[in-house]
Amino acid sequence: MPITKLSMASGKPSVIPYGDKPKREYDRAYNQRRQTTETDYVKFYHSAAWLHKRREILERDYGLCQRCGKDANLVDHIIPSKDDWEDRLDSDNLECLCRECHKIKTKREWYKHHKSKERYMEINLVCGLPGAGKSTYVKRHMTDHDLIYDYDDLMQALTGLSSRHRNHDVHDYVMLFLDQMLRKLKAEQSFNNVWIIRTLPDHRIDSLLANYHHINHILIDTDASVCEARIAKRKQKIQFQKILNDYQAADWGGYRRVKNC
């Protein structure tokens, strides 16, 4: 089989022979096609609303790439605007990226669309206070072939208790499972996404998996008062104040903050 690479040709990503350089006409063809068939799309990127929003997101993210922390070159739609035109100005769907990380993301999206069998698995670390809406966020973004590690759900399943008591003996088993799961995930490409739901950041997860997979760090940043009210309503028996202290002391650098969950 000849060695190939993924490149832009005639305005769309295509697999071409490795030595080939995409030609300039392709760019021109692409621009022309954009002008004629994607007027709305082009208009949007020239609109005052977009330019304003773009500036706002650059400020919000301190001009840093939200995946690697280097200087950002662009503001990207997390869910591509073509797939989700409605949310094109939604701040929660926008993030700053550097050129390198954007390239990786584009390539991954292309794989997802064109080569469903060759998966490009991502690990999503979803953190936040109890009651922040982490599971809700995951349910909203998961696909039909994902792996979800949810501490609370596992605790409930293993204790048979509905009201989410923390049982310290069972806790060890739930954590043991996470350990084993992380080790197995190193070699895995079987899922579209892996979701690990936790309260606090866990650097072990990064150090174990960062060399093997792309990890998205997501912080469900709901007001503590809202979380506390939800916990009270669910009659969950947890030490909220203690968790809140740890949460506030944690290092959330590199996490993308999501509001309103």
Nearest approach in angstroms of CB 146 to Zn ion is: 24
Query: With contact defined as beta carbons under 8 Å apart, do 204 and 213 qualify?
Result: no
Closest by CA position to 101, among listed 231, 220, 227, 254: 254
Give the nearer residue to Zn ion in terms of CB position, either 78 or 101.
101
Question: Would you count residue 65 as binding Zn ion (CB under 5 A)?
Answer: yes
Q: Which stretch binds Zn ion (CB under 5 A): 41-49, 62-70, 110-118, 228-236?
A: 62-70
| Strand-pair category, 122-127 with 214-220 | parallel
Give the nearer residue to Zn ion in terms of CB position, either 98 or 231.
98
Nearest approach in angstroms of CB 109 to Zn ion is: 16
Query: With contact defined as beta carbons under 8 Å apart, do 52 and 58 qualify?
Result: no
User: What order do you get walking across the sheet with 122-127 strand by strand?
Assistant: 146-150, 193-198, 122-127, 214-220, 256-258
Give the nearer residue to Zn ion in terms of CB position, either 52 or 70.
70
In the range 99-118, which residues lie near Zn ion by CB under 5 A? 101
Give the nearer residue to Zn ion in terms of CB position, either 98 or 132.
98
CA atoms within 13 A on the CB side of 144: 1
Question: Would you count residue 147 as binding Zn ion (CB under 5 A)?
Answer: no
Question: Would you count residue 78 as binding Zn ion (CB under 5 A)?
Answer: no
Contacting positions for Zn ion (CB under 5 A): 65, 67-68, 98, 101
